[in-house]
Amino acid sequence: MSIRGNEDADVAAKAGLDVAISNMRFPVSDLLTCVNQLCVKEWQELWNQCTLNKLYIVQPVIGHNISSSLSRYDSVLINRLRIGHTRLTNSYLLKGESRPVWQACHSPLTVKHILVDCTRYSAARQIFWSGHTQGRF
């Protein structure tokens, strides 16, 4: 009760009671495809409203997984870097400490800062990221 999705489902189910029944037959797989497409569309519309969420920045399109060919270990590692959660940058949260500062330039210690913004590593970025989209995180 008072859950938006459940309330919407109840309204839709009750509306379906007034629809005439047809003898038309079609494969269930056709229906499942339509239902899946509708669910993904609605999920994407909700997700598009979360633009300030750091996960939206990492994956703006629902269901698109770029790391499917990677091992689980590598996939977890890449995803942690993409969302900025590493032991180096987030252990202060578990310890109840203040956010650490990157001593090289006195900026907050974040994965994005180290890999994208820190001027100390500009030359390394040019060597290793040449030909790739720089700054896309």
Can you point out the beta strands (E) in the chain?
Answer: 101-102, 107-108
With a cut of 60, say whether residue 134 has pLDDT above it: no
More confident site: 61 or 129? 61
- Is the model's pTM score more than 0.95? no
- Locate tokens 């913004």: which residue? 117
* Residue 64 confidence class, pLDDT cut points 50, 70, 90: low
79-128 tens-digit pLDDT: 888 888 888 888 998 899 998 898 888 899 988 888 888 888 888 888 88
Give Cα 41 distance to the centre of its chain.
15
Domain ranges across the chain: 1-64, 67-137
Please say if the pLDDT value at position 42 is more than 90: yes
What pLDDT, on the 0 to 100 scale, is given for residue 66? 62
